[in-house]
Amino acid sequence: MSSKPTPTRPGGAGGIPSPTDTTANRDGALILDRLHATLTRYVILPSVEVTDAVVLWIAATHAQPAWAHAPRLVITAPQRRCGKSRLLDVLEATCHHPLITVNASPAAVYRSIGTDDPPTLLVDEADTIFGGKAAEAHEELRGLLNAGHQRNRPAIRYNAAANRVESISTFAMAALAGIGRMPDTIEDRAVIVPMRRRAPGETVHPYRWRRDGPRLRGLAEDLTGWLRTNLPVLEATEPTMPVEDRAADTWEPLIVVADLAGSDWPARARTAAVVLTGAAAESDALSLSTLLLADCRRAFGTEPVLSTEQLLTRLRDDPEGPWAELGPTGLTARRLGILLADYRIRSANARFPDGAQRKGFTRTDFTDAWTRYLPDDPEPVSGTDPSHPSHPHQPRSTRDGLMPWDGSTRPTTTTRPSLTSGNEGGTGGTGSRQQPVTCIRCRHPMAHDDGTHTHPACTGSTA
């Protein structure tokens, strides 16, 4: 009984065509497919969209003379051993004229990239350049990387030896790898690659420069041959873009390469642009509001209701939170409302145990958002933070037969809002929310209030 051989793609072992395969050399889609197979052989990337984006970014480096913008590739990771350096190894072997460094002066970078056909700048350990106290010392380098995203943004320098003013080009594609995020102005001009540590069961082939470098350089030569032949076509192409503004500037070279390659690459490129641009925007928009949700959960502790001022005070008093430094006076009621509005959380008039009516929030206002956007609610601590004096939490009384209430569910019996001293129900404007009445003795919610604000079992007792 004979078995049919498993079909393989032309050119070599492991499904990766060899650099000398003439069919692949003539077909841009096959070259990109080979690059994709090579990349995933050595690196685990977080998604198919990220992988496609990296493939197209590498290819775009070989056609820099055709582009009006030079997209950055920002490779980030939460900690060491997430594959950043290995990805840079593959980039160095496959991109156009790589210039790799872990530290460089702005003057050296200016002189290195100030040509009509610039190299591809690869910066490892970028967090040591742009992170912490070092950031201020490298503002000029950051300005160079920002200006170099667009063509015709030269640096002007005076050459004393030649007694003349010189215009130095800053245009060049660049990849930066580091732990944590890069400066916002750089990420805004970049395709973001969020690396992560390999999970159990995820394996890659080891990369050895002497053994694997020649094969990858051969692939780079194929990319150069294909794309440099088509420079006039690439320069004249005006693709239909799925994103707008600066994101369109950044992604246009990648999508133009994909359109030239054909096959399924045009669709894959546009999907990657939409997904990764949306992920970057979501990260920027939600990071602060998600932190606010978590800090509000801690601020509430076990209390069912807090006034707006109480909540703001507790947030601003957190020494590890950003709220005391958010604006000239810290987090304000208006900014709090804006950040919570996306979660449909709004303040309303509430009656407090001291009889006063103030704007505030109940625990139930946050329950849905906490459930959807935060990890499981930790066990609430007993009592309140002594730095935030309020009404102390009282243990449940066994006399009234009630289950402890943490605000996660509403009372089964609908209650009416308490009346004001003038025997009027609530105030107009924002709409009074029906709040559970709290027993003035045991401090637990009441399913029904006969006007005494006291559980029948608590009557006559000392709380």
H, E, C per residue of 94-149: HCCCEEEECCCCHHHHHHHHCCCCCCEEEECCCHHHHCCCHHHHCHHHHHHHHHCC
End-to-end, the C-alpha distance of the chain in Å comes to 89
Please state whether beta strands 120-123 and 98-101 pair in parallel, antiparallel, or not at all (unpaired): parallel
Distance from C-alpha of 438 to C-alpha of 435, rounded to nearest angstrom: 9
Largest CA distance in the chain: 98
The pLDDT of residue 374: 80
User: Token pair 């003439």 is at which residue?
Assistant: 22
Distance from C-alpha of 178 to C-alpha of 132, rounded to nearest angstrom: 13
The pLDDT of residue 357: 87
Distance from C-alpha of 226 to C-alpha of 248, rounded to nearest angstrom: 24
> Is the CB of residue 55 less than 8 Å from the CB of residue 36?
yes
In order of 83, 120, 126, 166, 258, the CA distances from 59 in angstroms are: 21, 11, 23, 32, 9
204-213 long-range contacts, CB within 8 A, separation 24+:
204/41, 204/42, 204/43, 204/44, 204/86, 205/41, 205/42, 207/42, 207/86, 207/89, 207/90, 209/89, 209/93, 212/42, 212/93, 213/93
Four-way CATH pick for 13-263: 3.40.50.300, 3.90.79.10, 3.90.76.10, 1.10.630.10? 3.40.50.300
| Residue 249 neighbours by CB distance under 10 Å | 19
Partners of 446 in the β-ladder = 437
Partners of 158 in the β-ladder = 165
Would you mind telling me the total number of residues written for the chain in this entry?
A: 463
Tokens of 72: 């950055």
Q: 372 — phi, psi (to 5°)?
A: -80, -35
Picking from 389, 45, 39, the residue whose alpha carbon sits closest to that of residue 223 is 39
Tokens of 18: 């060899």
Distance from C-alpha of 192 to C-alpha of 74, rounded to nearest angstrom: 5
Domain positions in the chain: 13-263, 285-458
The pLDDT of residue 306: 92
Q: Model-level pTM? A: 0.58
The pLDDT of residue 388: 40
Burial 316-339 (b: 16+ CB within 10 A, else e): beeeebebeebeeebbeeebbeeb
| Residue 345 neighbours by CB distance under 10 Å | 20
Chunked mean pLDDT (size 10), the chain, 463 residues: 38 40 63 96 95 98 95 89 91 94 74 80 81 65 80 81 82 89 83 89 90 94 95 95 92 96 95 87 64 92 92 92 86 91 88 84 92 66 40 37 40 42 42 52 62 61 40
Tokens of 273: 């642009």
The pLDDT of residue 375: 65
Distance from C-alpha of 120 to C-alpha of 108, rounded to nearest angstrom: 14
